[in-house]
Amino acid sequence: MVSLKDDIQYLKGVGPVKARSFKGKGIEKVKDLLFYLPFRYEDREFIKPISRLELNTFSLVKGKILASMVSTTYRKKIKLFEMIVSDEAGILKVYFFNMPYLKNVLKEGETVYLYGKVVKDNYSKGYFSMQNPEFEIETKDDVSIHRGRIIPVYRRIGALNSKKIRELVFFVLKEVGEEVKEILPDSIIEKYSFPKRKDALKEIHFPVYKEKYPFSRSEFVESLNNFSTLFHKRMIYEEFFLFQIGLKFISRKYKRNKKGRSIVVDLKLKKYIGKILPFKLTEAQKRVMREIVEDLTSLQPMNRLLQGDVGSGKTIIALMSMLIVVKNGYQAVLMAPTEILAEQHFLNFKRILKDTKIKVSLLKSGLKNSEKKKVKEEIESGVIDILIGTHSVIEGDVCFKKLGLIVIDEQHRFGVIQRVKLYEKGITPDILVMTATPIPRTLALTLYGDLDISVIDQLPPNRMEVETFLFYPDQISRVYEQVLKELKKGNKGFFVFPIIEESEKMSLKSALEGYKTIKGIFSNYKVGLLHGRMKTGEKEKTMREFERGEIDILVSTTVVEVGIDVKDATFIVIEHAERFGLSQLHQLRGRVGRGGKKGKCFLIAYSQKSEDTLRRLNVFVSTNDGFKIAEEDLKLRGPGELGGIKQWGGGGFKFANILRDRKILERASTDAEFYIKNNLLSKEVFKKVKDFFDEEFKFINWG
Ligand code: ADP
Ligand code: MG
């Protein structure tokens, strides 16, 4: 007897060794196997006569093994097992690489089923062939789950290939599939005409096309492969719904949590800050500041997302917020995505705060152990008011005396889970997340839970749009001319390369190679080099030389991408622009033209072939609007581009993809809100929400 709750080890055909591989993939219990999804489906309903095979299609054939042999390939000395299979009307050549033992498995005279891609290649000499096809030997009691139907294909786990996993899943569904319990409220199932949970799981693993469907069989297979059948949608919805219920529950719990801090912003403090400010705030910055002050002075912890295009002036908002907290007797932390940026914030803040008694410190990896220890002690004793660093400042063993505010600059790694972790530790800081990436509201809600959004929708005065030009490699001398013009005016700028060093695999220009070339061409000017593999100290030194104007041209990798603020840089040349996402290019372009002088951006694109690339780059050339650019990115390059969203900090969804399934997420979120507000969730359903959450997020205290 099997039970869904059994340890996977005890499932027939698994055992301790395979169980270890399973557990490595998070499959601990028998039930978890049902949530290991096929990533692809193949229609193996029909056996295709060999004579009617089509090149480059996947097909199922059945035939007799006429001959077979093992040989060694000339070039790479690989063991090759080949056989000739015939279904009387046609001949198929079949190759297996590195599997000589198959000689004893697939014997001459046997009848086999083969499924694979039909090709003609060097080996097959004009015949159709298959390489490493999935195979099955015909047996007497000929029932099989591997053909005559739509087949699920699974990613291999350790020694278990797709076929083995298919057999295990089939067995589990057959034995205990009926035990899978419903989780969603009946009213939801009715509302969307969803299939029952157990039926959805069954169909997702072993889909059956039904005549009554209003679409064709091949359309059905296509929607299976897109994860867009009603069975998939139901499971996607379920994940979102449970997740949203849990999130909303937690948010409510902590909404009621007071932060136990009284922050006051009076006239005196306003004057104090006003004196420190190096410039007049824009209207948008003022509005955002008012929103933040309201949060800081309220009794509930702030959870605010600040969106503002590249160069819109988010840093000063961070500084002012931190000053408010510090002048009220608390500590503040600023987390940056890179050490270079942390260093820059540190120097910037020190400069602005040089006439105050406020103590700013930088915690970075380059510090000696004794120095690190000292910083940590000073944080614990409260000597340090403002701490700056990468995300390591909040993880690990750093203890604050009185932490009041965390500001997160340009990174999404700090999501709702991280926040709840702090809360559970009894720390309720105000949290401000700053980003230039325009995240759709629903996504932001999923990432950060119940949060408020502020937007800086205005650039500081005297900011001119960066002019952007697209060039091809054979026009590079024209780019050099333009750069020379800028240099002659006394300006400085960047050359950005996609990689540090050349590699055999990719024929890309590298920063090291570019550094040599550019030094040769602009021999009258000082050229510097900056990349991620340099030591922290060297990076800092180079950055400072560039800022002070001791370096005219900084050759670098994308380490300068985010946040770097060198006021009087005017030009940026981006090699292999086709390799970058538009949002990334926009960040890079945002490094120039920050100090009232016009900025110029030169893209050099190496693949002129792809129309799509050209179109993308032309969109980029034609607009400076970060929101438009992000949208274009989403359209053309897909979700990956909204960098960082994948690391939103949850255990991860099994069915759902927050970008692909945005619409379902929206519905589930609205429904969840409605069900919580109106108390429509039965105790039973709510218990299931907790179970679901506890599996992913064990630290949550539901009390
Ligand atoms: P981002 O939003 O990309 O982080 P920054 O905070 O780095 O932008 O600001 C970009 C540049 O604009 C900085 O050099 C900053 O000093 C300057 N800046 C910000 N706000 C103003 C303002 N209100 N007036 C003038 N310059 C400003
Ligand atoms: Mg910034």
Tens digits of residue pLDDT in 378-425: 999 999 999 999 877 776 678 889 999 999 887 655 666 667 777 766
Reply yes or no on whether the pLDDT at 470 is more than 90. Answer: yes
* Domain extents in the chain: 46-148, 467-623
Could you check whether 46-148 and 467-623 share the same CATH topology?
A: no
| Cβ contact 402:430 at 8 Å | no
CA of 685 relative to ligand 1 center, distance in Å: 49
- Give the number of the ligand closest to the Cα of residue 587: 1
List of residues 6+ apart from 256 with CB closer than 8 A:
none
Task: State residue 416's pLDDT score.
Answer: 67
Tell which one of 565, 588, 591, 627 to mutate to probe ligand 1, the residue whose CB is within 8 A of the most ligand atoms. Answer: 565
User: For all residues of the chain together, what is the average pLDDT?
Assistant: 85
Q: Which residue has the higher pLDDT, 416 or 544?
A: 544
Confidence tier at 282 by pLDDT (50, 70, 90): very high
Give yes or no for residue 567 CB within 6 A of ligand 1.
yes
* Nearest-angstrom CA–CA distance, 369 and 366: 9
| Cβ contact 3:181 at 8 Å | no
Largest CA distance in the chain: 96
Provide mean pLDDT across the span 621-628: 85
Reply yes or no on whether the pLDDT at 171 is more than 50. Answer: yes
Task: State residue 645's pLDDT score.
Answer: 39
Give yes or no for residue 337 CB within 6 A of ligand 1.
no
Task: State residue 639's pLDDT score.
Answer: 42
CA-317 nearest atom, ligand 1: 6
Task: State residue 644's pLDDT score.
Answer: 38
Task: State residue 651's pLDDT score.
Answer: 43
- Give the number of the ligand closest to the Cα of residue 594: 1
CA-282 nearest atom, ligand 1: 23
Angle between helices 662-677 and 230-256 (to 10 degrees): 50
Q: Which residue has the higher pLDDT, 644 or 117?
A: 117
Provide mean pLDDT across the span 16-27: 89
Provide mean pLDDT across the span 606-631: 80
Least reliable range by pLDDT among 47-56, 100-109, 448-457: 448-457
Give yes or no for residue 415 CB within 6 A of ligand 1.
no
| Cβ contact 299:375 at 8 Å | no
CA of 326 relative to ligand 1 center, distance in Å: 22
- In this structure, the chain runs to a length of 703
Task: State residue 533's pLDDT score.
Answer: 82
Task: State residue 447's pLDDT score.
Answer: 61
Task: State residue 615's pLDDT score.
Answer: 83
Task: State residue 39's pLDDT score.
Answer: 87
The tens digit of pLDDT for each residue in 119-161 reads 887 777 788 999 988 888 887 665 678 878 899 999 889 888 8
Give yes or no for residue 307 CB within 6 A of ligand 1.
no
Reply yes or no on whether the pLDDT at 206 is more than 90. Answer: yes
Task: State residue 382's pLDDT score.
Answer: 94
| Cβ contact 415:268 at 8 Å | no
CA of 471 relative to ligand 1 center, distance in Å: 30
* Nearest-angstrom CA–CA distance, 318 and 289: 9
Give yes or no for residue 316 CB within 6 A of ligand 1.
yes
Domain 46-148: top CATH class: mainly beta
Give yes or no for residue 565 CB within 6 A of ligand 1.
yes
Reply yes or no on whether the pLDDT at 257 is more than 80. Answer: no
Task: State residue 504's pLDDT score.
Answer: 57
Bridge partners of 91, per DSSP, are 86
Share of the chain above pLDDT 90, in %: 42
Reply yes or no on whether the pLDDT at 66 is more than 70. Answer: yes
- Note the CATH architecture for domain 467-623: 3-Layer(aba) Sandwich (3.40)
Confidence tier at 367 by pLDDT (50, 70, 90): confident
* Nearest-angstrom CA–CA distance, 262 and 298: 8
Task: State residue 72's pLDDT score.
Answer: 84
CA of 565 relative to ligand 2 center, distance in Å: 8
Task: State residue 646's pLDDT score.
Answer: 41
Q: Enter the pTM of the model.
A: 0.66
* Nearest-angstrom CA–CA distance, 80 and 77: 9
CA of 550 relative to ligand 1 center, distance in Å: 23
Provide mean pLDDT across the span 290-301: 94
Give yes or no for residue 331 CB within 6 A of ligand 1.
no
- Give the number of the ligand closest to the Cα of residue 565: 1
* Residue of minimum CA distance from atom 16 in ligand 1: 313
| Cβ contact 611:641 at 8 Å | no
Angle of CA points 14, 16, 18, to nearest 5°: 50
